[in-house]
Amino acid sequence: MRLTNTLSAVLLATVLVATSVHADNVQKGFDIAARADRTDNGFADSRVDVTMVLRNAAGQETTRSMSFTTLEKANEDVGDKSLVLFNTPRDIEGTALLSHAKILDPDDQWLYLPALKRVKRISSSNKSGPFVGSEFAFEDFTAVELNKYDYNWLREEACGELNCDVVERTPRYENSGYTRQVSWVDQTHFQIRKVEFYDRRDSLLKVLELKDYRQYDNGIWRTHLMTMTNLQTKKQTDLVYSDYEFDVGMDQNDFVKGRLARLR
């Protein structure tokens, strides 16, 4: 009897310690993600030209060029507004995708088709589908809001010349193609260096590497080379960023559907 009680007490203590350790790791994971997110806040708006390089398993390359424009929302309970405008391939020149990101609700998205001059509201429930035939899914672009995930700190380890916190994040929004993601956040500049994506069967699907970080005059860090490698298909997509322009004076009216036909 006494032995049983002792055993119960030990078990209970273990569970409590484990729970509190888990709670600590959840808080720590969130704090690291929040610091990474907030370090680069306060840019107001940004514009950047991007070259997308698609590489198949045999190494053959196709490129397309586009620009990304973003309007920052200071409130973390509201998502940013963003615009992707395609320049090449030529047959889709002028095609534009406008997104109003939400935190847990589905995003609002409109697509502009220049051949018909038609603006279409599109379903944003297609989170896991490929973005223009690339290895990036729609959610890899739109789900970068802090509160779209639950976090859990896993460990600390070296990442190149820096030291990184390894934080697991689990999507809180619906229709994600991922059970979880594991991110490496450096302890010096608080930037995400690598992300592993685990598919719905929890097997490792893709790895994203973020390189060529540069700090701008406003203190904001940005990666200029993102490489997404699909480990299952061996296909790869690079996003090569040119120099960012910040605070160019855009407002809400630059991110409305009525604007899409007047972008060029």
Partner 1 sequence: MHLRITLFLWLLAAAPLSAQNWDKAANVELQTRLFTQDAAFPRQDDATLHASLSGELDLRWRGNDARASIIGFVRLDSVDDERNLVDFRELYWAKEGDGFEVLVGLNTVFWGVTESVHLVDIINQTDFVSDIDGEDKLGQPMLNVEIQQDWGLLSVYLMPYFRERTFAGLDGRFRPPPELLLDDAQYESGSEQRNVDVALRYSHYFGDVDIGLSYFRGTSREPRFVPADPVSPFAELVPFYDTISQVGVDLQLTRDAWLWKLEAISRDARFGQIFAAVGGLEYTFYQVAESDADVGVLVEYQYDDRNALEPFTLADNDVFVGGRLAMNDIQDTALLAGLSYDTDTGETFYNVEGERRLGDDWFFEMRLRLFTGADPGDTSFFINRDDYLQLQITRFF
List of residues contacting partner 1 (CB under 8 A): 54, 56, 62-63, 88-93, 106, 108, 116-123, 125-126, 128-130, 132-133, 252-253, 256-259, 261-262, 264
Q: Least distance to partner 1 from the beta carbon of 157, Å?
A: 33
Q: Cβ closer to partner 1: 75 or 253?
A: 253
Beta strands in the chain (DSSP E): 45-55, 61-71, 81-86, 96-100, 108-113, 118-122, 149-159, 162-171, 180-186, 192-198, 204-211, 214-215, 221-222, 225-230, 236-241, 245-246
Q: Least distance to partner 1 from the beta carbon of 138, Å?
A: 10
The dihedral through the CA atoms of 83, 84, 87, 89 has a sign that is negative
Q: Least distance to partner 1 from the beta carbon of 259, Å?
A: 7
The dihedral through the CA atoms of 88, 89, 91, 95 has a sign that is negative
Tokens standing for residue 60: 């053959």
Tokens standing for residue 134: 């690339």
Q: Least distance to partner 1 from the beta carbon of 168, Å?
A: 24
Q: Least distance to partner 1 from the beta carbon of 51, Å?
A: 13
Q: How many residues does the chain have?
A: 264
Alpha carbon distances (Å) from 194 to 80, 130, 257: 22, 20, 34
Q: Cβ closer to partner 1: 74 or 116?
A: 116
Q: Cβ closer to partner 1: 128 or 170?
A: 128
Q: Cβ closer to partner 1: 59 or 258?
A: 258
Q: Cβ closer to partner 1: 84 or 210?
A: 84
